[in-house]
């Protein structure tokens, strides 16, 4: 058990000392605050996104638990992956309960961009 931990410590020290390029986490992405505010309104609109019905996130009132929590998604997925998931979740999982918002034109591409920007702030 000690060998993997020691290996990781040594490997990370070598990378730091060598000045090797290290990939920054996706959470460091710049976010457009105005677009994110628009995305939050779309996401919480019952006739548009209605995200809180299935997802929980910070500030959601009576949030659902059908889908995964949205807090910290930007640490796990890139902006493009989040956009693609909202646009057509059936590409990643054909049996998903999440509606393909873009494919069925529930949301426009601009609205999906706004919701994506909002999700990046969570």
**Which ranges of the chain have pLDDT less than 70?**
1-29
The pLDDT value given to residue 3: 52
Domains of the chain (ranges; CATH) run 26-120 (1.10.760.10)
The pLDDT value given to residue 62: 84
The pLDDT value given to residue 120: 96
How far is it, in rounded angstroms, from Cα 58 to Cα 9?
34
Q: pTM of whole model > 0.85?
A: no
Q: Where are the alpha helices (DSSP H) in 1-122?
A: 2-18, 33-43, 73-76, 79-87, 109-120
For residue 5, count CB atoms less than 10 angstroms from its CB and return exposed for 0-12, middle for 13-18, buried for 19 or more.
exposed
The pLDDT value given to residue 60: 87
The pLDDT value given to residue 29: 63
């Amino acid at each position: 058990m000690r060998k993997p931990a020691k290996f990781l410590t040594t490997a990370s020290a070598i990378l730091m000392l060598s000045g090797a390029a290290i990939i920054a986490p996706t959470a460091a992405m710049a976010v457009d605050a105005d677009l994110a505010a628009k995305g939050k309104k779309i996401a919480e609109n019952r006739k548009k996104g209605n995200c809180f019905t299935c997802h929980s996130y910070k500030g959601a009132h009576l949030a659902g638990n059908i889908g995964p929590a949205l807090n910290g998604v930007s640490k796990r997925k890139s902006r493009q992956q989040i956009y693609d998931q909202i646009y057509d979740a059936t590409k990643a999982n054909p049996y998903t309960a999440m509606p393909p918002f873009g494919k069925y034109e529930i949301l426009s591409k601009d609205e999906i961009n706004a919701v994506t920007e909002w999700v990046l702030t969570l």
